[in-house]
Structure 1
Amino acid sequence: MNKKRIIGSLFGLGLLTGAAQASTDSVEQALVMVNSGELQTQGMAMVLANTMQAQGTHVDVLLCGKAGELAFKDTENAPLKPKNVTPEQLMMKLKQGGANVSVCALFLPNSDKGKAALLSGISVAKPPQISRIMRNEDVRVFNF
């Protein structure tokens, strides 16, 4: 694991001081993996991903487990304060900004819904493609 990826992991865990964070290179590409079914965790993942995107980072989002339900057309979560937006609204904002959003390859086969139930523009991840992203030393991987 290279220094940049280690620093990104520590940054994601909140273990670095402000001085150490300021010395890291800007992130040009990020993979945000969301697994949690907890709405505040999903929401914060999307807030941070949108913030990274606004700062010039290309963002890929991978939804697995309960978080995969954000990708369904019929998902309607309660809005989160203080902005009164849902995680799925924040996810679609990311998508509109150019993010690639996909569900894990195991998600649909283990749910009672098919591809037609996914929101427009959300794909099913291909493991070789996600693996390439994860192995790229210029990509930071964040897990929620």
Structure 2
Amino acid sequence: MKMLLKSVALAASLIAPAAFAEDAKSLVTILTEENPQTQLMAMVLTMQATKQGAAPHILLCGPAGDLALKDAPEAATAPQPPMGMSPQKLMGMIMQQPGAKVEVCAIYLPAKGADATVLMDGVGVAAPGAMAKAMMQADARMSF
């Protein structure tokens, strides 16, 4: 009996995260700000929502798109008080969460004269139609 309970508990612990990810509400964070403090706070709030069950979808446009660059500006990578975290580092941590998606706006790379090779691994380029669909989902919440 004890072994059966342990097996059931183990199975539940393995299945629960997958089921939780499927039932997660979607949080669409659209970030355009170049101020690193604002960028970091957007990532802090997104991470907190993720910890509370949201599946994060981050769209970076304009100056905020620089967070997604492999060779990002110092403002994106410099540690900030009080936790010594940078916007890019926290974004990378969010990217590791179940269901997380980070994309740059479709016009970001052409405006920079660059292609997707300049982006961090795991960052995509948003298709406008798919992004609009994500924003319109019944379970989606948006944050700017």
TM-score range for the pair, normalised by the shorter chain length: 0.7 to 0.9
| Aligned partner of residue 137 in structure 1, secondary structure | coil
What is the SS of the residue equivalent to 1:85? coil
Counterparts in 2 of 1:31-42, with a 5 A limit?
Answer: 31-42=28-39
Identity over aligned residues, as a percent? 37
Superimposed CA distance per residue, residues 53-105 of structure 1 (whole angstroms, 9 cap, x where no aligned partner): 11111110000000000000011432110010100000000001131000000
> 5+ unaligned residues in a row in structure 2: which ranges?
1-23
Structure 1: which 4+ aligned runs deviate by more than 3 Å? none
Match of 1:54? 51
**Matched ranges for 1:13-24 at <5 A:** none
Q: Structure 2 matches for 1:1-144, cutoff 5 A?
A: 28-75=25-72, 76=74, 77-98=77-98, 99-143=100-144
Larger helix proportion of the pair: 2
Alignment RMSD (CA, Å): 1.1
**Structure 1: runs of 5 or more not aligned:** 1-26
Letter in 1 for 2:138: E
- TM superposition shift of 1:115: 0.8
Give the equivalent residue in structure 1 for 2:8: none
- Alignment deviations for residues 120-142 of structure 1 (CA, whole Å, 9 cap, x no partner): 01000001110101112220111
Q: Which has the larger radius of gyration?
A: 2
1:87 & 1:112 partners in 2: Cα distance?
A: 24
Question: Normalized against structure 2, the TM-score is what?
Answer: 0.78
